[in-house]
Structures are given as C-alpha cells and as structure tokens.
C-alpha cells in the first residue's frame, strides 16, 4: 500500500475558463485533473521532471471524464487525485467537489504507461523507481 494514496487541491475557475453558456468549458476539467495529478506526483517526488530523469516517459493512454454538474465562475472546488493502480500501469482517479457543500461535480480517471526513453518501448510492468516512490517495493 502506498504511503500517499491521494492528494487534494483547491481551485476557483477563472473567467477565461468559461464557455458561451457561462459554465466551465469541458476541456478545462482535464487541466484541473492535471493540476491535481501533478500535485499528487510531487508528494512522492516523482513528477514529470523526475520521471524523465529516471529514464521513463509516462504518456496518458486513456482518459475518462464523467460530468455530473457544471462548474461555474468563482465557485471554489476541491480536486482530489488518488492512486488506484500502479503495478502495470499508473491509474489515477479524480473527483471534483464543491468546496462549500461537498457535492460531487465531476469524476474521472487517467491511465499512464511507462515508456523507456532510451528504447522507446512500452513497459508491461511499472519500473522499480515508481514502486520505490510509492513505498511498495517488492
């Protein structure tokens, strides 16, 4: 079991994040997921620069979003990123909640796989460096 399973950030959508219907444009939710994912990876000292330095790229190969309720300008929300899988791929679940009420607004997940930067080959098991950072070294 990893030492750090999840991390939560707070954010407030900016005016420039809105679509013509005055709600957050659907593509910006992915940016919010990315901010939470990066904060989670920083907690284990394995954010994108450390991934690169360890010899691996971690491209996203699958991304899902379920829009439950719209986010609005000025609404403070909490975005939680949680490690779900890490043995053969890196799956991170996301949940966006209204900060004041706790109401779920959006959920989703991303799946990343390790690619050896030297050979450009996809790895079918997570490299030891990820498992070490998570504290689950076999």
Share of the chain above pLDDT 70, in %: 96
Mean pLDDT of 115-131: 96
pLDDT mean over 61-83: 97
Give the residue-averaged pLDDT of 31-60. 96
Global pTM value: 0.93
pLDDT tens by residue, 91-106:
999 999 999 999 999 9
Q: Which DSSP symbol is given to 31? A: H
Give residue 65's pLDDT band: very low, low, confident or very high (50, 70, 90).
Answer: very high
Residue (of 98, 91, 132, 93) closest to 114 by Cα position: 91
Higher local confidence (pLDDT), 31 or 138: 31
- The C-alpha R_g of the chain, in whole angstroms, comes to 16
Strand ranges across the sheet with 104-112:
6-11, 77-85, 90-98, 104-112, 60-67
- Flag whether pLDDT at 4 surpasses 80: no
For 6-41, write each residue's pLDDT tens digit: 999 999 999 999 999 999 999 999 999 999 999 999
**Residue 122: phi, psi to the nearest 5?**
-70, 140
Dist CA 113 CA 16 (whole Å): 32
């Amino acid at each position: 079991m990893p030492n750090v399973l999840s991390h939560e950030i707070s954010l407030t959508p900016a005016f420039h994040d809105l679509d013509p219907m005055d709600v957050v444009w659907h593509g910006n939710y992915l940016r919010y997921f990315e901010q939470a994912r990066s904060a989670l990876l920083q907690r284990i000292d394995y954010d994108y620069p450390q991934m690169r330095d360890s010899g691996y790229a971690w491209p996203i190969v699958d991304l899902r979003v379920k829009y439950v309720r719209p986010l609005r300008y000025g609404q403070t929300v909490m975005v939680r990123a949680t490690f779900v899988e890490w043995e053969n791929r890196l799956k991170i679940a996301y949940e966006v909640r209204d900060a004041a009420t706790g109401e779920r607004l959006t959920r989703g997940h991303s799946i990343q796989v390790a690619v050896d930067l030297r050979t450009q080959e996809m790895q079918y098991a997570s490299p030891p460096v990820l498992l070490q950072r998570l504290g689950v070294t076999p």
